[in-house]
């Protein structure tokens, strides 16, 4: 009788360990999926940031004066390039988006830009980049939400706590109407 109890207990322990390892493996896959989704968002943010100086230079060439918008763009791009965490890069991206909106508003003062093919091409490329950002941002947020949910449900929450998986709140947020 004692041997049967020990065997059953051993089987339960082995089963729990195997289950825990399986859950840990799935949580690792989900965390890697979040990292991969972030890399896609980050690449699209960088692509758009690389396009903005072309538009700024065209406007600066026509304006013949220094505008605070140009300095704001340079600072936001620098912050984006130097951001280490998703939160830092997302905050820098928000500032860059505001600066870009101001730049495009400033371009309205120069009607000759709107007939300039190069400026139109840059504007189209920026619009395409914005669309790609929206798509990648949605995918990233969905992947992040799935990961956060996975580490909170039983029995994953036990394995997550023991294995050091933590909630990640680096969501890509938008303002209402934005």
Global pTM? 0.78
pLDDT 10s digits, 138-166: 999 999 999 999 999 998 898 899 899 99
- Which sequence spans correspond to the domains of the chain? 34-141
| Two structure tokens written together for 78 | 């620098």
pLDDT at 64: 67
Nearest by Cα to 162 from 7, 14, 17: 17
pLDDT 10s digits, 112-143: 877 888 888 988 999 999 999 999 999 999 99
Output 176 or 38, whichever has higher pLDDT. Answer: 38
pLDDT 10s digits, 73-94: 889 999 998 998 888 888 898 8
- Helix or strand or coil: residue 155? coil
CA atoms within 13 A on the CB side of 100: 23
Q: Could you tell me the CA-to-CA distances from 178 to 45, 91, 138 in Å, in that order?
A: 16, 15, 13
Residue 87: how many CB atoms within 10 A of its CB?
A: 12
* Residue found by looking up tokens 């051993």 in the block: 10
CATH of the domain spanning 34-141, picked from 1.10.150.120, 1.20.1440.20, 3.90.1310.10, 3.40.630.40: 1.20.1440.20
Nearest by Cα to 96 from 114, 83, 109: 83
Output 177 or 99, whichever has higher pLDDT. Answer: 99
């Amino acid at each position: 009788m004692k041997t049967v109890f020990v065997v059953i207990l051993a089987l339960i322990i082995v089963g729990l360990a195997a289950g825990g390892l399986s859950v840990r493996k799935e949580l690792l896959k989900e965390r890697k999926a979040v990292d991969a989704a972030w890399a896609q968002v980050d690449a699209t943010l960088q692509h758009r940031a690389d396009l903005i100086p072309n538009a700024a230079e065209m406007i600066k060439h026509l304006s013949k004066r220094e505008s605070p918008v140009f300095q704001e763009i340079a600072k936001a791009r620098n912050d984006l390039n130097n951001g280490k965490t998703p939160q830092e890069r997302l905050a820098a991206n928000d500032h860059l988006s505001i600066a870009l909106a101001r730049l495009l508003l400033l371009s309205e003062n120069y009607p000759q830009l709107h007939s300039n093919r190069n400026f139109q091409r840059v504007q189209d490329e920026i619009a395409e980049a914005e669309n790609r950002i929206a798509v990648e941002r949605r995918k990233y947020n969905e992947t992040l939400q799935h990961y956060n949910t996975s580490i909170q449900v039983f029995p994953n929450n036990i394995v997550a706590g023991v294995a050091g998986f933590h909630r990640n709140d680096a969501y890509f947020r938008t303002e209402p109407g934005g």
